[in-house]
Chain A
Amino acid sequence: MKDDILTPASARVLNFLGLLAMIGVLLGAYVYQFYFRELPCTLCQLQRVGMVAVAFGAAMNVMLGPHPRHYGVCLVSAVFGMAISIRQALLHINPFFDTKTAQPTLATAANPPFGQPVLGLHLYIWGVVLFATVILAVGIVQLFRGQFKPSPPEPEWLRRLASIAVAALVVVAALETLTTFLECGFGACPNDGGWNWWILR
């Protein structure tokens, strides 16, 4: 396989697109949160941690150039996020299993899904899909060694775009920190899915 199929500049553009996609998903989660007035549970928050961390790995590639360590940050974060998503999906996979008593039951809605579905799937299922896609994409991109070669300085337009995208990530990460503080303080987050802000209690 030719090594120069994926140049450092094109790898940066791919990571830039991945970074924008992650920022879009995180902002979409905010729209969902405020539209349905449902605060994220602990597992939902941990999935957001995984998404911001994946975005950070992509941001490192965009700002500093492609490096296996930066892709490693993406992979470790995606595996973390997928473990949390699978855990939450398994919790709600059987509506007739009461997770409080660990017993099957015939009561309807003994174990209802958490939150509203989006396009027919709940957010934790989308989480599994998203993190699996990240793992697959990072694995495929890493097949091309040409991106890791020393390269001339990137063009000015790419440098500016990278700076704007990473600035957007800084804003989103700061927003996540602020809303998490308002929801949970420095303690455990509420798991009832209601409009139960720590700051208002």
Chain B
Amino acid sequence: MMTVTFGLIAISCFFLWYRKAEWGWAAVMIALIIGIIIFMGDVDFSTNLGVQL
């Protein structure tokens, strides 16, 4: 999942540089959404978010 996230951004960067492609911002937003999904999977909700609240 993390590899896909970086890959999406890398492809966006490449086409921004090679073709001045503007659509990369949408791919980066998708990458961030995948990042949020990874983040939610990393949080242990059973232990009070793992933080002393």
| Option from A42, A166, A170 in Cβ contact (under 8 Å) with B10 | A170
Q: Tally inter-chain residue pairs, CB-CB below 8 A.
A: 124
| Option from B6, B12, B44, B48 in Cβ contact (under 8 Å) with A176 | B6
Flag if A169 contacts B13 (CB, 8 Å). Answer: yes
Task: Determine whether A63 belongs to the interface, using a CB cutoff of 8 Å to chain B.
Answer: yes
Which chain A residues have a beta carbon within 8 Å of chain B's beta carbons?
Answer: 42-43, 45-46, 48-50, 52-53, 56-57, 59-60, 63-64, 69-70, 72-73, 76-77, 80, 83-84, 87, 90-91, 93-94, 97, 99-102, 104, 163, 166-167, 169-170, 173-174, 176-177, 180-181, 184-189, 191
State the 7 A-B residue pairs at the shortest beta-carbon distance, nearest first: A102-B47, A173-B10, A177-B6, A99-B50, A166-B17, A181-B3, A97-B52
- Interface pairs (21), CB distance under 8 Å: A42-B38, A42-B39, A42-B42, A46-B35, A49-B6, A52-B6, A53-B32, A56-B12, A56-B24, A56-B28, A64-B16, A64-B20, A70-B25, A72-B25, A91-B51, A99-B44, A101-B47, A170-B10, A170-B14, A176-B9, A176-B10
